[in-house]
Structure 1
Amino acid sequence: MADASEQLSLLFVASECYPLIKTGGLADVIGALPLALMKAGVNARVLLPGFPAVMKGLKKPVVAAVIPDLFGGPAQIFRGKAATGLDVIVLDAPHLYNISGNPYMDGAKERTDNDIRFAALAFVGSEIARGNLLGWHPDIVHAHDWQAGLVAAYLAAVGGPRPRLVFTIHNLAFQGLFPADRLAKLGLPQAMFQQEGLEYWGQINFLKAGVVYSDRVTTVSPTYAREIQTEAQGMGLHGLLRRRSDVVSGIVNGIDDTVWNPESDSDIPAPYSVRSVKGKAKCKAALQARLGLEVKADAPLFCVVSRLTTQKGIDLILSLIPDIVRQGGQLAVLGSGDEAFEHGFEMAAKDHPGRVATFIGYDEPLAHSLQAGADFILVPSRFEPCGLTQLCGLRYGTVPIVARVGGLADTIIDANEAALDAGVATGIQFAPVSAEAFSFALERAFEIYEDAPAFARVQRAAMKQDVSWTAPAGHYMQLYHGLMAAD
């Protein structure tokens, strides 16, 4: 084990990582946080499942270990690099990971063998942690979300010396629930299937395993760490999280500020910065033209870059589109999700030509264009562990309008009168999460937009925020070193 004067070694275990494979914000975190830690002197490596996109994107792959039988088939462990320079360990098990499309879903349904698929990832993570596969003994294993929740369970089942364990909850709503009769196939002892272990209302709960058997539990914002210990937001695990409250904490995410940088972004038509935002007007005009919106500099342009789900408050946005249009605003939407919401936005675009534009799906360059060209970004989530799009909005001077929940409450300073006068307001918050409160927030946005000096102050304050991984990485370093010092 490393002491404070030696290089800390760290194994991340996760199901996705940008730029190799991405379905959501987890990939952005796993792609950026280890790199930030590497800059701080940490020997950080990331274990990923060998989905086709991961295998295709792996640079300089070398076989590091062979496993003759892993949950029903042979497997190999590759070491290589992501295009970003991240040190990656890939579990290549074609019988588990050679699947097309979404890594978790088969159409609209969850893949029925996800338990075996991610148990295998966790088991291999536990074996690497014990030094049995790569001859490497990490000081700390940092597992992320339910897909990696069993790492701690496998280590607990074996017993003996092990690295320190950190488990991060990115979204408590997704817990990895599977039938109890699958326990034997997972290779875990029956004794673990109990209330103080893996059992959750008669099912196996992968995320609960991470909470129960890890040394520290983190979430992706301090407010969310408190919210999930309440019955209202605890998703059935609030009691357990309260009992472990002394090891539960929140650290706000960052974003990769080299990827999200309006001064150097190749996906936007004109660069700009906090020193001069003139280029943002060109980005707005280009975006309006591209999406078929009226090219009007004085029309406040609101954007949405989101999964289209009830959690994200998408129904609230749909209900208030007539208000946005009536007050002279425009709306551009990028996302996918519930069919009813997709259809609702498509119909809104037809009903309000030149005022509403909808792109169903996800397009990374278009996401950059929206952040650069819009005036406001809407994030009215009913709960939000951290949120990343509002951080991108801050970086691009696209003023966030957010519900006062989770990481949104932690990252946005509301444009109340005192904050406006002090020049520190970075966005607009509202509560409760209702159509009425959201409507009032939109009215405030129109008022601020019409006051050009006030809007410019909010834009500048937003763009001055440090949304990089520098501060969060420092907080994680404190957490890791605190764990090591607990020997």
Structure 2
Amino acid sequence: MPNAALKILLMSAEVVPFAKTGGLADVAGALPKALRADGHDVRVAMPRYGRIDRARFDLSVALPPYPVPMDDHDIEAGLLQTHLPDHDDIPVYMVDNQHYYERDGIYMYEDDADRFIFFCRATLEGIKRLGWQPDVIHCHDWHTAIVPNWLKTIYKHDPFYARTACVYTIHNLAYQGIFGYRVLEVAGVDEYGFIAHPDMPHLNDVVDFMGRGIYYADIINTVSETYADEILQPDFGEGLDPLLRDRRDRLYGVLNGIDAELNDPAADQYIAAHYTAENLAGKAECKLDLQREAGLPQSRSTPVIGAISRLADQKGFDLIDQIAEPLLLHNDVQLIVLGTGDQRYHDRLNEIRARFPQQIATFLTFKAQLAQKIYAGSDMFLMPSRFEPCGLGQMIALRYGSIPIVRATGGLADTVRNFDPTSGEGNGFAFHPYHSMALYTTIVRALENYRYRHTWQQLMLRAMHADHSWASSARRYVDLYRRAIATRSDRPPREAYQKNAS
């Protein structure tokens, strides 16, 4: 039945509001809500990290302790249960094990491979014990990439998963989860050896989790259509582009959405005044409030550019570094930066702030409340990324009427249309060549257009009327789920193993 409700298990290493280090958590927390609103039975699985308080999130026992195969022995897992906030009908299962997860952080441990193999195996075994049989398992990033591998190998003849398809989502191809041969033994797939590929000899002697997810999944997607095209080329493929080209008939792009309830200038609890596309008066108050909090002169007429980002080359901070001083020296503009990252950019921003204290404010931290104030109080939002699989900041900025200035790559190209003053079309300012002068001239072009208040207000209205909620993206995912079920195969995409490789 093509329109029947689906049973969907979403597996992720992090989920808002329980644990977050980046956009993956936002997706894993928001997509299930949109799927449930569309009538599907969706459940979420993640590890129960030590920082997740059992009392705060009302965690209860879903299963008594049960054995999980790891290498040549069993390790006991607990399975706890809660639900997404305000959504009692979306269960969240958390795999519990003191040895693996009772730590201060989430990632960057020497045994990360073991930790996420255990999470994945414990989830599959736990769901089986619960008797809830998913039609599709939706896996995210390298932490869960072993699951499509297992469904084609050690679970291949398990009747419980006989009809279960797998969709694998790449959020950022740069983080692949690369380990040594021992990991195959821990995961119980050593008899199949490494993946061999004539154009990727490096896969012949390492375990690349993401590579295995791409190889075995029924459907692969990434988080924007442009990025799905870009990663087929060596410049963006991170060494996996030959494998991606092999599987391009099953590779799709689905743009992420944003949580329209949390990011709503008409109801945001953190901003100084509420406003809508029908009544923009509150945005001016938000701007004055932001300038006050940033310690900058309060001025309704001076354009404010906001940036909320990891301070790294990938996010274009090498370009910002080159143009910041001439931009501030020759233009009436204020720049407010929120984020942490490479120390050299911390130092450089502090240097620029010392020279231009009336024009730049830097917050070398991350505060959710301040982020919302920047979205609401800024006139423009800066994202000159070298590459950007999707990006959420530009979509949130659009919703708040802060006009994005972006490099046209990945999800930025899919969401920000370059403004054409002749036709009046577009919702932001975009440039293509990754060059500091291209960024500089694009910012100056935005500043020039800002002077024309009617033109700018129309630009803001177009930005705020854009729909980047999860509803349309969720429907695209449902299409992929059904495609995965319809085209599911018991066999891997091609027989290309190195048996007993070592």
Shorter-chain TM range is over 0.9
Q: Which among 24, 27, 44 is matched to residue 26 of structure 1?
A: 24
1:350 aligns with 2:354: yes
1:445 aligned partner, one-letter code: A
1:323 to 2:326 alignment:
yes
| 2:61 is the alignment partner of 1:62 | yes
Deviations 1:402-435 (A, max 9, x none): 10100000001111234xx34x311001011110
TM-score normalised by L of structure 2: 0.91
Which amino acid counterpart does residue 74 of structure 1 have in structure 2?
E
Please name the residue that 2:497 is paired with.
none
Aligned equivalents of 2:125 and 2:151: distance in 1? 8
In structure 2, what is the equivalent of residue 464 of structure 1? Answer: 465
CA shift at 1:372, angstroms?
0.3
Residue number in structure 1 paired with 2:225 = 222
SS of the aligned residue for 1:276 comes to coil
Aligned residue number for residue 82 of structure 1: 84
Which of 267, 275, 279 in structure 2 is aligned with 1:276? 279
**Match of 1:302, SS?**
strand
Taking the aligned partners of 2:68 and 2:2, their CA distance within structure 1 comes to 39
Supply the distance in 2 between the matched residues of 1:117 and 1:238 (Cα, whole angstroms).
Answer: 28
Partner of 1:93: 97
Counterpart selection for 1:137 from 133, 139, 147? 133
- 1:54 and 1:207 map into 2 onto residues whose CA distance is 27
Structure 1 match to 2:188: 187
Q: Which residue of 1 aligns with 2:444?
A: 443
1:480 maps to 2:481: yes
Structure 1 residues 239 and 486, CA gap change in structure 2 (3 angstroms):
closer
Instruction: Report the CA distance shift for 1:113/1:60 in structure 2 as closer, same or farther (over 3 A).
Output: closer
* Cα distance per residue 1:337-396 (max 9 Å; x no partner): 111112222222222112111111211111100000001110000110000000000000
Say whether residues 1:393 and 2:394 are aligned partners.
no
Q: Judge conservation of contact 1:414–1:425 (CA < 8 Å) in 2.
A: yes
1:301-347 Cα deviation digits (max 9, x unpaired):
11111111111101211221113312011111111111111222222
**C-alpha separation in 2, matches of 1:357 and 1:201:** 49
CA change 1:331–1:5 in 2 (3 A) is closer
The structure-2 alpha-carbon separation of the partners of 1:199 and 1:69, relative to structure 1 and needing over 3 Å to count, comes to farther
Indicate conservation of the 8 Å contact 2:59/2:80, yes or no: no
* Unaligned 5+ runs, structure 1: 106-110
> 1: distance between equivalents of 2:485 and 2:204?
35
Q: CA deviation at 1:455?
A: 1.1
Identity of paired residues, percent?
A: 35
CA drift of 1:70 comes to: 5.8
The separation in 2 between residues aligned to 1:370 and 1:148, in whole angstroms, is: 34
Q: CA deviation at 1:65?
A: 4.3
CA contact (8 A) 2:195 2:204 kept: no
Letter in 2 for 1:133: R
| Counterpart AA for 1:14 | S
Residue of structure 2 equivalent to 1:151: 147
Seen in structure 2, the aligned counterparts of structure 1 residues 407 and 392 have a Cα distance that, compared at 3 Å, is same
Tell me if the contact between 2:223 and 2:390 (Cα under 8 Å) persists in the aligned partners: yes
Q: How far apart are residue 55 of structure 1 and its match? A: 4.5
Task: List runs of 5+ in structure 2 lacking aligned partners.
Answer: 489-502
The aligned amino acid for 1:226 is D
- Choose between structure 1 and 2 for higher RCO, CA contacts under 8 A separated by at least 6 residues: 2
Report the Cα distance in structure 2 between the residues aligned to 1:379 and 1:330, rounded to whole angstroms. 16
Paired residue total:
474
Secondary structure (helix, strand or coil) at the match of 1:304 reads: strand
Write the letter of the residue equivalent to 1:462.
A
Q: Deviations over 1:88-146 (max 9, x none)?
A: 01001111111103x113xxxxx211110111122223335xx5332110000000001
User: d(CA) in 1 for partners of 2:218 and 2:410?
Assistant: 23
Change (3 A) 1:484 1:70: closer
Equivalent residue for 2:12, pick from 11, 14, 34? 14
Superposition pairs of residues 64-463 of structure 1, within 5 angstroms: 64-68=63-67, 71=70, 73-85=75-87, 86-101=90-105, 103-105=106-108, 111-128=109-126, 132-158=128-154, 159-160=156-157, 161-195=162-196, 200=203, 202-326=205-329, 327-418=331-422, 421-422=423-424, 424-463=425-464
Q: How far, CA to CA, are the matches of 2:487 and 2:203 in structure 1?
A: 31
- Give the match's secondary structure for 1:382: coil
Show CA shifts across 1:191-224 (max 9, x none). Answer: 2313159972521111111101110000000000
Rounded to whole Å, the distance in 2 between the matches of 1:68 and 1:451 is: 67
CA distance in 1, matches of 2:346, 2:204: 34
Residue identity matched to 1:452: R
The alignment's C-alpha RMSD in Å is 1.8
Pairing 1:41-56 to 2, within 5 Å after superposition: 41-56=39-54
SS of the residue corresponding to residue 53 of structure 1 reads coil
